[in-house]
Structure 1
């Protein structure tokens, strides 16, 4: 104890053998003293130790079993998480997250490569016709074919729906075309052979040599709506087109708010020497610097992204604003025809929305002709007729524009209660003498049918005196085109054609 050491031993107390143990506390020279009776004999102690050893061994075994089971479950969970993170659950192919990681490794090694985006035309139609399960089976065919057509070091993934991305270690266009042609044909063949349904798959692909997969997707989207081209290669024109599209979409709402969309008017004349009988409203986008963007630069995009819904009603408002300006100036207004998107006719509130605009400018509906494209009639004929009846009841006139440009049917002339038929300008393009005779016969019959049904006819695209003579011979009611005058600003139109009301 003087040395501060631990002490153990035994002693006898009241006839009992005792064990003791003393431990220094390092505080004031104090010791902790522990004592207890000796437990049984030496044999009993040996038995106790044996039992204790067995129990400890069992506990160690149990702990090892639990640790092993836990580690196994944890490992399985990790594998499941990795599979969910990197694999497509339908086909078993890798997903885009895995593709992008592998792509970064390719970039680091600086190997030459090409990315490919592969898709199926109208894959939604497969799901609609044959069910989701059959559609998934087609995706599995695609995965299987791709898996057997890639070289060592190449890889692919499934993105969404039927879109697959491939990374090929080829950079030669002809070689890539041949390889993709084989892949496309094998996918098509396997779907017919094992798909249990007769559906001839049509696939298309975009390729970007040495570029990321987004540019391959851009190349693929460039042929999305065509079936005569299977493979497209990315080029800088596509990139410029995307930049232009993004630029237009970023500026369209501010342009509408700032009234950069200007009303242009093209005069419409009577073919019986009635002179000016109306005008067609055309939109021009005037940039802040005074330059103009023409409709073919932005109208197709607006029809695609739905912005035309706002623009078409905006143009109705600009037409009403101009009619009111003529009236306020003591001028006799002429009716203005305004193009309207087919999407507007799907809105049951469309007639009421129009009347709110007209009432704001105190304009009669008889001064506004609503022009619709023939394609409107192919969607929902019953709804379209309902809307036309509602618009007629309010006093609007309805004109069908570009008749003959698409899939026109003479059935439209009696199925739709329209007031005016505008003949597509393509009818006036002369190719040959034989073509002219056939064209005349077709035009003559269309005009005759329309006249007997009480529908006025307008010939667009009159550019020569011969065009005018043809239209007069056919007894069309109205004509417009560069032969008479070009589209012009509303201000120029007013100065050139509008006269003071003699009353």
Structure 2
């Protein structure tokens, strides 16, 4: 398609144009096409850098660059602002998806980099036209879902195709979602514990609470098959509270029957972090049991709390006022912020497994050592997660790390197995 002097209008007829072509292709059974949703990903930052009044000109340039990738029997319209819909020849397979996404990505990125001094990136979602019962608006919705939850990337550009990766997964989620209330009622969600090994003593007197879904017919259902969906729809609150109740009952029994005080950590889900009801619901459960509040530690996932320090401050204050304590989980997994360490009270820092890649790497060892020293200077205990080798265990002990979690010592285990190993058996240790 020749992009020279191509001008677009922003009016309601654009949507009707692309819809008309979509309906025609469906009617003609043209399975080799895909409806595409494209967003100019970093457009706002880009336009502000140049001049706000140049925005429309920049969108026109991006539109023309996209047109250079189209043949005469492919179509593009601007839907609104810096969003476009396209109808292109693209089969429902990864090879064709990568090929077309590659074309669009470099046509826009390279041109803007060469002519404006910085690249402009794309966000793309594809919905193939191989389902004749799917109308235009549904197909566009599918394309937008894939655009916003893209699995494949070039540098700073992401793209995906709905029927390749999203639909089957979503349908599986929906099927499992309907089973969650019954699974909770039947006790199919099981409390597992990941032991924390005290490196100074070699003993285990604390653990992290985890969940496993063990269905009577399907067996153990992978976390990735259900956890993202129940986090999204809020069911995770019920599950978290259920597991917290179970764990508290075990801690009370261990103290009463065996005189063994254990501390258990609990991950704070995004649903609870974003709500105002977390402490009320958890303390209501906790008060049913005769155990000390310092037996409970709440783990704050770095990726959840990182950009909301203002909300985090009162939450952490309430946690400590009741007598619980806090840990920062997965430190180093992404864009670690020392703002969290300096802004809120924390009792424990958990170093993410992603930092333990190569024990022979001097820079890696130095980084880990400095993290341990900083945490200790701030009166925090340090837990290293995902440790699987003796070399790492020895090194962490040498630099004064307090605890280790990982397969080198113990895998997550059912709570009954944990009880036999660490409560009734006093000969624990490696």
After TM superposition, the score normalised by the length of structure 1 is 0.67
Unaligned runs of 5+ in 1: 1-87
CA–CA separation in structure 2 for the residues paired with 1:465 and 1:349: 43
From the superposition, tell whether residues 210 and 349 of structure 1 become closer, same or farther in structure 2 (CA, over 3 Å). closer
Asked which structure has the greater RCO (Cα within 8 Å, sep 6+), the reply is 2
Which position in structure 2 is the counterpart of 1:281? 209
1:115 corresponds to 2:40: no
Structure number, greater radius of gyration: 1
String of CA shifts for 1:28-66, please: whole Å, max 9, x gaps.
xxxxxxxxxxxxxxxxxxxxxxxxxxxxxxxxxxxxxxx
Change over 3 Å in CA distance of 1:259–1:189 after alignment to 2: same
1:457 to 382, 390, 397: 382
1:369/1:399 contact within 8 Å kept: yes
Q: Is the 2:74–2:88 contact (alpha carbons within 8 Å) kept by the matching residues of 1?
A: yes
8 Å CA contact retained: 1:117, 1:163: no
Distance apart, 1:398 and its partner CA:
0.8
Map 1:179-218 onto structure 2 (within 5 A): 181=103, 185=107, 201-208=120-127, 210-211=129-130, 213=139, 216-217=143-144
Partner of 1:344: 272
1:370 aligns with 2:290: no
1:84-103 counterparts in 2 under 5 A?
A: 90-95=10-15, 99-103=18-22
Match of 1:496, SS state, is helix
Structure 2 residue aligned with 1:426, among 354, 359, 368? 354
CA contact (8 A) 1:425 1:461 kept: yes
For residues 365 and 109 of structure 2, what CA distance do their matches in structure 1 show?
48
State the aligned residue count: 407
Q: How many angstroms does 1:265 deviate by?
A: 0.8
Q: Contact 2:172/2:225 (CA < 8 Å) preserved in 1?
A: no
C-alpha displacement of 1:449: 2.2
| Matching residue of 2:135 | none
Equivalent-residue separation in structure 2 for 1:112 and 1:376 (angstroms): 41
Task: Confirm or deny: 8 A CA contact 1:331 1:500 kept in the other structure.
Answer: no
3-state SS of 1:360 partner: coil
Structure 1 residue 459: deviation in Å? 2.0
Report deviation, 1:106.
2.5
- Out of 4, 24, 37, the position equivalent to 1:105 is 24
Structure 2 matches for 1:302-313, cutoff 5 A?
302-313=230-241
Shift of 1:413: 3.2
What does residue 448 of structure 1 align with? 373
Map of 1:84 onto structure 2: none
Secondary structure of 1:383's aligned partner: helix
The two structures have a TM-score, normalised by structure 2, of 0.76
Correspondence 1:64-103 to 2 at 5 A: 90-95=10-15, 99-103=18-22
Contact 1:115/1:216 (CA < 8 Å) preserved in 2? no
Q: Secondary structure at the residue paired with 2:350?
A: strand
- Verify: 1:477 aligned to 2:402, yes or no: yes
1:178–1:284 Cα change, 3 Å: closer
